[in-house]
């Protein structure tokens, strides 16, 4: 029964991905112009992941941050004064060297063909697969944007965001509540700096500030994030399983072990709690929905055709 259910879910997912054509993107866009693109990106991500597994959540987060600011156009990859990379929300992004490495190899294999935005979308998918998540087909054909401004980085949900505010920000990109919960589920891998949630574990007297947290878990967090520290220490967003793409993140939410307030409220809010409960009990459902939601997200505001450019290097416009 488990195999049949998995195959059925896979067929549904495959049918959905085949039907998706985004805004000009499609699966197999480079099949004749650069057939080795996915192999090169995958091998590059795998190589860097072998040296530092934290690259995986870094690339996934970077793709999210790219798409939520001016669409999925690789603008987050551009460097320079006042670029998106200099915005507060992006200061801790990591994985730029992975994209640069893949681009360098692709410029040898297929000069001027593959966009940096597509490399990032493929690398995010490969990061999930490397952490034992389910892979999916990525529609490609994006072109790179030429504008990157820190002042445009204002759509990203904050670590203290309510569900209502998160829904509003996701809805602006035609992502629904189910997409929201699935994509936040990407926090099953990666870490958060103590400064983003210290207000939940300490109040002015040094005691627990948030009664919705598991009170047996708080001392562990307080030890990892001392009240007199600078807030730079990092903690797994998915306690006990921070390196594996699984459903334990949702189980932790149900136990009061969500690290960020914006994660925790997915369990305490009626609009999202049933979806969390579903993903807790079905890894297949979570994997299928995550892939669907990633495909939807990766087609936000994409530039295709004559819009944008194919950068020669990902950190600078041509």
Query: How would you write the pLDDT of the chain (318 residues) with one tens digit per residue?
Result: 554 455 444 444 443 443 334 458 999 999 999 999 999 999 999 999 999 999 999 999 999 999 999 999 999 999 999 999 999 999 999 999 999 999 999 999 999 999 999 999 999 999 999 999 999 999 999 999 999 999 999 888 999 999 999 999 999 999 999 999 999 999 999 999 999 999 999 875 556 678 899 989 999 999 999 988 888 999 999 999 999 999 999 999 999 999 999 999 999 999 999 999 999 999 999 999 999 999 999 999 999 988 999 999 999 999
**What is the pLDDT, as a whole number, of residue 23?**
53
pLDDT at residue 3, rounded to an integer: 47
Catalytic residues: 65
- Answer yes or no: is 9 a known binding residue: no
Where do the domains of the chain lie, and which CATH numbers do they carry?
22-155 (1.10.520.10), 163-292 (1.10.420.10)
- Do 302 and 73 meet the contact criterion of CB atoms below 8 Å apart? yes
The span from the CA of 123 to the CA of 248, in Å, is 23
The confidence score (pLDDT) of residue 203 equals 77
Phi, psi dihedrals of residue 303, rounded to the nearest 5°: -100, 130
Q: Is 75 part of any known ligand binding site? A: yes
Query: What is residue 275's predicted lDDT score, i.e. its pLDDT?
Result: 98
For the entire predicted model, the pTM comes to 0.90
Tokens 């109040």, residue located: 203
Residues 116/99, Cβ–Cβ less than 8 Å:
yes
246 is in an annotated binding site: yes
Three-class DSSP category at 26: strand
| Residue 73 assigned ligand-binding role | yes
Helix (H) or strand (E) holding 236: strand 234-236
What one-character DSSP code corresponds to residue 187? G
Work out the number of other CB atoms within 10 angstroms of the CB of residue 52.
12
66 labelled binding-site residue: yes
Backbone angles phi, psi at 220, to 5 degrees: -65, -45
157 is in an annotated binding site: yes
What's the Cα-to-Cα distance from 139 to each of 95, 114, 290, 299, rounded to whole Å?
Answer: 21, 13, 15, 8
């Amino acid at each position: 029964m488990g195999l049949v259910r998995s195959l059925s879910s896979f067929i549904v997912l495959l049918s959905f991905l085949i039907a998706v054509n985004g805004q000009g993107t499609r699966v197999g866009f480079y099949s004749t112009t650069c057939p080795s693109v996915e192999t090169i990106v995958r091998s590059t991500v795998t190589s860097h992941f072998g040296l530092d597994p934290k690259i995986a959540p870094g690339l996934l987060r970077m793709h999210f941050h790219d798409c939520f600011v001016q669409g999925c156009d690789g603008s987050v990859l551009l460097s320079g004064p006042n670029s998106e990379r200099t915005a507060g929300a992006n200061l801790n992004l990591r994985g730029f060297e992975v994209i640069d490495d893949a681009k360098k190899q692709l410029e040898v294999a297929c000069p001027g063909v593959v966009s940096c935005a597509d490399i990032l979308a493929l690398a995010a998918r490969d990061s999930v697969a490397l952490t034992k998540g389910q892979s999916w087909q990525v529609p490609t054909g994006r072109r790179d944007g030429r504008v990157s401004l820190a002042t445009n980085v204002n759509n990203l949900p904050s670590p203290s965001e309510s569900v209502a505010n998160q829904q509003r920000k996701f809805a602006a990109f035609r992502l629904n509540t189910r997409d929201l919960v699935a994509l936040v589920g990407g926090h099953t891998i990666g870490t958060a700096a103590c400064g983003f949630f210290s207000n939940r574990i300490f109040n002015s007297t040094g005691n627990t500030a948030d009664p919705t947290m598991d009170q047996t878990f708080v001392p562990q967090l307080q030890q990892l994030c001392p009240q007199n520290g600078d807030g730079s220490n990092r903690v797994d967003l998915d306690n006990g399983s921070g390196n594996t793409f699984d459903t334990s993140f949702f189980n932790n939410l149900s136990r009061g072990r969500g690290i960020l307030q914006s994660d925790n409220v997915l369990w305490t809010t009626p609009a999202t709690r049933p979806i969390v409960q579903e993903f807790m009990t079905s890894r297949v459902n979570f994997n299928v929905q995550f892939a669907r939601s990633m495909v939807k997200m990766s087609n936000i505001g994409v530039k295709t055709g004559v819009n944008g450019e194919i950068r020669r290097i990902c950190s600078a416009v041509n």
